Amino acid sequence: MTVLEYINSLPPEVHVFIVAMIPVIELRGAIPLGVHLGLPPLEALAIALAGNLAPIPLVYFILLPAVGLLKRTRLFRRLVTDYVARSEKTSERIKKYGLLGLSVFVAIPLPGTGAWTGCLIALLLGYSLRVTLLALTLGTLVAGTAVAMLAKLATG
């Protein structure tokens, strides 16, 4: 059995969970994938929410050191510097609204506004892991609900 055959043999729930963990795609891509693979929208939402939030505690502790390391490499320096600069600019707008501002930012169902970027912004603002998880969970739940409703409408 090849690697591709093995991956294709996994249940759709595993695909949705893993895709939801991927930065940029996150649950905004995982929910439509789950619906496409035959999962009911609410089930796809629940699995994608769990997959999207699962790596956040680890990301919370390794993101800033990883950003620092990647900034020192020629290959990633510009990409990482631009990403951090955009996040810093956004964090200034979010700062005055606190936890609610971060939740609303993450709730916007567009690429670049998900849990990974929200985690970076929380770190830049000095939020604790507990506050970060609460804000990201609220925002991700709102975004996921919107995406699941759109997926349900699209499938009839």
| pLDDT for position 6 | 86
pLDDT, tens digit, 9 for 90 and up, residues 13-29: 999 999 999 998 999 99
| Exposed / middle / buried, residue 6 (Cβ in 10 Å: 0-12, 13-18, 19+) | exposed
Range of the domain at 104: 3-155
| pLDDT for position 96 | 92
| pLDDT for position 98 | 93
**What percentage of the chain has pLDDT greater than the value 70?**
100
| pLDDT for position 7 | 82
Split into its structural domains, the chain has a count of 1
Nearest alpha-carbon partner for 135 in 60, 69, 77:
60
Q: What is the pTM of this model?
A: 0.88
For residue 73, give the DSSP letter.
Answer: S
- What are 101's two structure tokens? 């501002």
| pLDDT for position 4 | 81
* Amino acid in position 149: M
Distance CA 121, CA 17 (A): 24
Q: Collapsing DSSP states into helix, strand and coil, what is residue 38? A: coil
Grade residue 155 by pLDDT with cuts at 50, 70 and 90. confident
Higher local confidence (pLDDT), 43 or 4: 43
pLDDT, tens digit, 9 for 90 and up, residues 56-77: 999 999 988 998 899 999 999 9
Average pLDDT rounded to a whole number, residues 23-44 = 95
58 sits in which H/E element: helix 56-71
DSSP string spanning 13-79? HHHHHHHHTSTTTHHHHHHHHHHHTT--HHHHHHHHHHHHHTTHHHHHHHHHHHHHHHHTSTTTHHH
- Owner of token pair 């035959």: 38
